[in-house]
Structure 1
Amino acid sequence: MENQEFQEQQNNEEKTFFQSTTAKMIMVGLLTFVLLIPLLFVQNLIAERAQRKSEVVNEISNLWGSDVAFYGPILRIPYNTYENINVTDQKTGATTLQRRATTNYAYFFPSELTNTSKVKKNESLKRSIFNPVVFTADMNFKGNFTAPNFTKLNIPEESIQWDKAAIIVKTTNLKSIKSELKIQLNNEKLTFEPQPDDKSNYSVLATNLFDYKTLATNSLINFNFGITYNGSNSINFIPIGKVTAVGIDSDWESPSFEGSFAANDTTKVVNKDGFHVDWKILDINRTFSQQYANVLPNLEDYRFGVKLIDTVDEYQQNERVSKYGFLVIGLTFLIFFLIQSISKINIHIFQYSMIGIALIMFYTLLISITEHSSFSLAYAISGIAVVVMITLYSISILKNRKFPLFIATSLSVLYTFIYVIIQMEDYALLVGSIGLFFILGAVMYFSRKIDWGK
């Protein structure tokens, strides 16, 4: 009789241990960490789809036109340099001194350079579910060259070949120019032609040769020309004018003004219909000269312009949402665990697993629906679907409607809270910290009467 009572007592102790609150807490905690594995797979899926988008966008941009950068126009005038060399006659062995001429080039930047550009976005190149940032830019340049100062370059007058002058421009997007390239120089119109690559990121266009002294009026050459580009992502200029003025109008609603020079805040306008921006840069604002001999300088550090931003990057938003996956799973399990502890309703670890998998499915639904609609709509559909599924499942588990209604409300608030956070930039950390503080307070309040010793 005593042995039988001892055995029943031992069985009760073993049953109590495995069904204790501590044991259940450990199992739910382990399950939470196990669910990080499929969550990691979801994050890898998001990264893979983002990489695929990047590849497609780059392919379209390469076909349509890459970033536009403009360096010019520049007045180029050749000049001769001479050197004395010894020449030996192979038959007689006699050595004579001969003078050999070498042609070099002097480059002069304009005194005034004004650009007005109209940039229009193109939405016809959408491929599958991807929509790249591409545009057509109509750019007009005008200004003037004053008399070139060869004295500063230590080049004598008799060495200058005035009749072989040319105007050159350098651009990164030669293949995507869609207009006839002609420049008006005073009363004469010249045509640009491509020149050999100068071993930089720029391609060179040069006019046919002209006589500077014949063309110049009072030692001044006025110029006017236009270029139409197919481009993508950005437009940049180099301020080579003694006074450089640039104005851009566009229907793109999300620009980012970049480079070494700030735009004019008094005339800058950015709204849902597009933007207008102006720059005015003087020669005293940069540290390079207006004339060079032999080689043009690398002025990449002086670039400025505008980058057209795709603010609705669905993959970046999905990635940010997935980073809160551990928080969503942990808080959802915590809600069920508190309900189980308060109501004494037993929830099997398998049922926790089903709830966890449903939470993971939210992210796969979100990324797949986002690719075919807006992120906000996809978030709403995915969130409602998961909340409804877990709520209906909770009714069958908890055998009443009070607790499932609380779960549905809690999950709705949690998903809404995360959506608000990811839409913010400057205040995301502040709002997130305050929200987590209140969540901690709620957990402390509802768990205050639980007997953790059982």
Structure 2
Amino acid sequence: MQQNKFGNWIKTSITARMLMIGILIIILLIPLSYIKSLINERANRQESVVNEINEKWGNEVLLYGPILKVPYKTYTEKLVTDSATKKVTKETISNTNYAFFFPENLEINSEINPEVKKRGIYKTSVYKSTIDVSGNFVKPDFSTAEVEDNDVLWDKATVIIKTSNLKGINNQVEISLNSKSYPFIPKYEAQQNNVYTKNTVTLHKLETPLLNKDTIIVDKPSNFSINLTVSGSQQFKIIPIGKETNLNVTSNWKTANFIGEFLPLNSDKITDTGFDAKWKVLHINRPFSQEYFKTLPNLNEYAFGVNFKIPVDEYQKSERSAKYGFLVISLTFLIFFLIQSISKINIHPFQYLMIGLSLTMFYTLLISISEHSNFLKAYVIAGLSVIILITLYSKSILKTFKFPIFIGISLTALYTFIFVIIQLENYALIVGSIGLFTILASVMYASRKVDWN
């Protein structure tokens, strides 16, 4: 008798049905969480494959240099006590430090022609580039450090450049300084943690042999030129260390994305065949000086250039759509609940569970199809599949045509609404708020005649 009363209460009580639907929604959050984990796993897999391709081909190129490195002597006094006579004398100790001087003018011209590399379903952009670096140094000024000219070791000066991609260099790199050539040699340098967490690029040092003294102690500027051919991937950036820095990048890449602290000057940079971008940066535009003593600073945060990454936002859009999974399941169950309450047709909890699982299948279809196609096509195929499945299933439950058709139209409108929100960026919040308000008003209007007793 008690079991029959409980069964009749479940079938006839609106409160019992609402509790049952709430429990089912909570249960369905479990597969939704697994789906979100699957999206993150596939996104991480895509990133690891792209990084592996880039590592073998050549990583992004970040160029820092050339920089004139000049050693100089400083002196400190030390008190020395004779152990036998106890006499205290002063001893002068000589120390060798290094000063770093940036170019007066820095001109960089680069031609970069990327291509797409694939591995399985994943792809990334790689490129071969020619980089011509030219400019001049003026005679280093040690007056700010109060160093006498006699204490400057002019005959031990060198030129250094730093780059993030030694593996991708395809030629013997040398600098022509005042018509004399000096080859660059890799120099090991202990890496220090970057102060800025967003700058995780590791720079490797190339340094010349000792320069001829006459090439830098001249009254007129010392002209230099460097030619590089580099295989890289994803990005090309430089650090504007010239008192006046000019960068010109030409490419056949049609989806240019300019990044960093500075943007190109020319308005006609984008063409039908690619882009031709020009930058001009003056020393007054950046918050660092032209010379440094004792240490060379990490200036990665001031780099700028071009991003050649292939935009892959399918996983991001899938993740955003999965965040609306709770809303889709809740509103779909609410529609069935209102139909059940109005029509007095009994819907079993198992049938609610099957409908909920069908809704979660939308996201697995969306992820798998978007990996082989674009997001729009995947969204349409996954959405239509789930809408048709639930509409046909509801026909077998409700034994009529008008309610399944209404359910199909409602699901179509809901998935369309979510797709619009995913595509929007600046207006996503206001459109979503208006849409949810409209849905709430529709539910309130539809439920006004329900007998809650």
Q: Tell me if both proteins adopt one fold, taking TM over 0.5 as the criterion.
A: yes
Specify the alignment match of 2:317 in structure 1.
Answer: 317
Specify the alignment match of 1:143 in structure 2.
Answer: 135
Specify the alignment match of 1:132 in structure 2.
Answer: 124
Q: Distance in 2 between matches of 1:155 and 1:143?
A: 26
Maintained 8 Å contact 1:120/1:252: no
73-82 or 34-43, larger mean C-alpha shift: 73-82
- State the shift of 1:102 in Å: 5.8
Indicate how the Cα distance of structure 1 residues 280 and 195 shifts in structure 2: closer, same or farther if over 3 A, else same.
Answer: same
Counterpart of 1:448 in 2: which secondary structure? helix
Q: Distance in 2 between matches of 1:82 and 1:24?
A: 88
TM-score by length of structure 2 reads 0.85
TM-score by length of structure 1 reads 0.85
Aligned identity (percent) is 49
Letter in 1 for 2:267: T
- State the shift of 1:13 in Å: 10
CA deviations over 1:184-217 (Å, ceiling 9, x no partner) = 3233333222123254442111223332425777
Specify the alignment match of 1:42 in structure 2.
Answer: 35
Indicate how the Cα distance of structure 1 residues 242 and 13 shifts in structure 2: closer, same or farther if over 3 A, else same.
Answer: closer
- State the shift of 1:429 in Å: 1.0
Specify the alignment match of 1:437 in structure 2.
Answer: 437
CA deviations over 1:88-136 (Å, ceiling 9, x no partner) = xxxxxxxx99988765443321110122233333312x22222235443
Q: Distance in 1 between matches of 2:416 and 2:258?
A: 29
The answer to whether residue 207 in structure 2 is matched with residue 206 in structure 1 is yes
- State the shift of 1:385 in Å: 0.9
Maintained 8 Å contact 2:266/2:277: no
Indicate how the Cα distance of structure 1 residues 100 and 332 shifts in structure 2: closer, same or farther if over 3 A, else same.
Answer: closer
Matched ranges for 1:368-383 at <5 A: 368-383=368-383
Q: Across the two proteins, how many residue pairs are aligned to each other?
A: 439
CA deviations over 1:265-306 (Å, ceiling 9, x no partner) = 553745896555433222223343323344323334433334
Letter in 1 for 2:69: R
Q: Over the residues paired in the alignment, what is the CA RMSD in angstroms? A: 3.3
Specify the alignment match of 2:259 in structure 1.
Answer: 257
Letter in 1 for 2:248: G
Q: Distance in 2 between matches of 1:451 and 1:271?
A: 66
Q: Distance in 2 between matches of 1:153 and 1:202?
A: 27
128-137 or 400-409, larger mean C-alpha shift: 128-137
Counterpart of 1:59 in 2: which secondary structure? helix
Specify the alignment match of 1:328 in structure 2.
Answer: 328
Letter in 2 for 1:253: T
Indicate how the Cα distance of structure 1 residues 271 and 219 shifts in structure 2: closer, same or farther if over 3 A, else same.
Answer: closer
Q: Distance in 2 between matches of 1:168 and 1:11?
A: 88
Aligned match for 1:65, one of 49, 55, 58: 58
Indicate how the Cα distance of structure 1 residues 240 and 402 shifts in structure 2: closer, same or farther if over 3 A, else same.
Answer: same
Q: Distance in 1 between matches of 2:360 and 2:51?
A: 31
Counterpart of 2:170 in 1: which secondary structure? coil
Specify the alignment match of 1:240 in structure 2.
Answer: 241
- State the shift of 1:243 in Å: 0.9
Specify the alignment match of 2:229 in structure 1.
Answer: 228
Q: Distance in 2 between matches of 1:50 and 1:215?
A: 52
- Structure 1 portions without partners, runs of 5+: 1-6, 88-95
Specify the alignment match of 1:53 in structure 2.
Answer: 46
Specify the alignment match of 1:93 in structure 2.
Answer: none
Specify the alignment match of 1:337 in structure 2.
Answer: 337
Indicate how the Cα distance of structure 1 residues 182 and 449 shifts in structure 2: closer, same or farther if over 3 A, else same.
Answer: same
Indicate how the Cα distance of structure 1 residues 449 and 292 shifts in structure 2: closer, same or farther if over 3 A, else same.
Answer: closer
The answer to whether residue 112 in structure 2 is matched with residue 119 in structure 1 is yes
Indicate how the Cα distance of structure 1 residues 211 and 28 shifts in structure 2: closer, same or farther if over 3 A, else same.
Answer: same
Specify the alignment match of 2:19 in structure 1.
Answer: 26
Aligned match for 2:163, one of 162, 171, 195: 171
Specify the alignment match of 2:199 in structure 1.
Answer: none
Letter in 2 for 1:141: V
Q: Distance in 1 between matches of 2:77 and 2:207?
A: 32
- State the shift of 1:169 in Å: 0.6
Maintained 8 Å contact 1:121/1:252: no
Maintained 8 Å contact 1:135/1:231: yes
